[in-house]
Amino acid sequence: MRELRFIAIEGVIGAGKTSLTKVLANKMHAGTVFEEFEENPFLAKFYTDRRKYAFHTQIYFLMSRYRKQREMAQIDLFNSRLVTDYLFVKDRIFAEVNLSEEEFALYDKIYSILSVDIPRPDLVIYLQADPELLFKRIRQRGRAYERDIDFEYIEKLGEAYNTFFFHYNSSPMLIVNIKGFDFLANPRDLDLLHDEIKNLKEPRRVLSRA
């Protein structure tokens, strides 16, 4: 495998993407790029009425993620490392789950234009978890804009993510079942993940406590 300069961490809401991005980037002496969830003015309204605000929310996220990707494209990845808490192509997962057929057709035209020349990660880390664990984490962190998320939505997203990453082959991928791991509180867990990343030779590998 080529040297890892660009790592993208993915997973359903509550999987711990941002937290892992911070500690992994620190361990690898890498820069970071984060999604800007709280800046989306439609997000809280979306969780209250998904049908009404889905398109507004999705287009805002698409443009925000695209802007971040264009900024990343200016970074010299030959001389630096970068860890991000999202993968650009995952935007389409949410679009397929939340948009109507007509809305998705319009969205897909915009996405097709914006997705050209988006940087491709050297490695994708997919944080996989049961919806029960994800929902528990969401409730525990108590973010105001997430208080109206229901379990069925997390379950639906989980199914969509698993289907997407089952077929994903654009970059090497490390699938991490997060149950039993605590990458923030347990340095040994982070060391184990770091070793897996450094020694990864297969295009797809699973890391699990099971």
> Do residues 180 and 209 touch, judged by C-beta distance below 8 A?
yes
Q: How many domains does the chain have?
A: 1
Report yes or no on 51 lying in a domain: yes
Provide the CATH number for the domain around residue 30: 3.40.50.300
Structure tokens at 41: 């003015």
Q: How far apart are CA 121 and CA 94, in angstroms?
A: 20
Of 49, 85, 189, 195, which is the active-site residue? 85
- 85 catalytic residue (yes or no): yes
Report yes or no on 1 lying in a domain: no
Report yes or no on 23 lying in a domain: yes
Would the pTM count as exceeding 0.75?
yes
Residue whose tokens read 């900024």: 71
What are 39-85's pLDDT values in tens digits?
999 999 999 999 999 999 999 999 999 999 888 877 766 667 899 99
